[in-house]
Every structure is written in structure tokens, then in C-alpha cells.
Structure 1
Amino acid sequence: MRRTTGSRASAPRALAWVTPETSEADRAFVGTPRVHAIEYGWLASMGNAAARPSELHA
């Protein structure tokens, strides 16, 4: 499972997604192919923010 965390310049967040190498136990724990989470203290600010989809092309 890949994990990443946010930078200091943005809202604290954590992301997780499954890969072909992800174990069945980790897949069951995550429960979905991808999870995004933010710290509770940022919830109100993020709820009032405009969401814009973006794609990163590597």
C-alpha cells in the first residue's frame, strides 16, 4: 500500500491506495481502493473550500 502525507504549506492530509503488491489483509483494512483523510482541525476550513479536480501526468 502506498502512503503519502501533505506538505507544511497545505492542509495536513494522508492518502492511501492499493497497488498490485498490496496484501489482502491491507486491502481489507483500507476497504476501498483509495482513501483521503485530513486532520480534524482542518475539517471546517476544507468544508468551506472550493474543490477542483486535477490530474498529474508523469
Structure 2
Amino acid sequence: NIHRRYRKYLQIVFNCYTKGAWGKEERQKIPFKKGDPFDIRIRAHDNKFTVYCDRV
């Protein structure tokens, strides 16, 4: 599962749900400016998701 959450803080919060429990949250500063377009892609594999943003 991919969990996303919107907060008033300018952070991206990463987390994963495996084996019945949520893992440790990882936080990073949002690298985007309000109003700027960006490309996000989520690839589903058999046992994981890979998230690409602006092809990174």
C-alpha cells in the first residue's frame, strides 16, 4: 500500500504498510513551487511500488 497524507507543512511523508504494520515515516522538504507543473508516475510491481517524479 502507498499512503499519502496532506498537511499544512511543506513536507512529503513517505511510508509503507508491510506485514500488517506501518513502517517508519521518512520526511523530505517539498522540492516543488506552488503552481509549477510536475509529472508523477507510480509503477506497480508484484511486491512493491516504484514512484517516479519528474522522471527521477
Band the TM-score falls in, shorter-chain normalisation: under 0.3
**Highest RCO, 1 vs 2 (Cα 8 Å, sep ≥ 6):** 1
TM-score by length of 2: 0.27
TM-score by length of 1: 0.27
Instruction: Select the structure of larger CA radius of gyration.
Output: 1
Bigger helix share = 1
Bigger strand share = 2
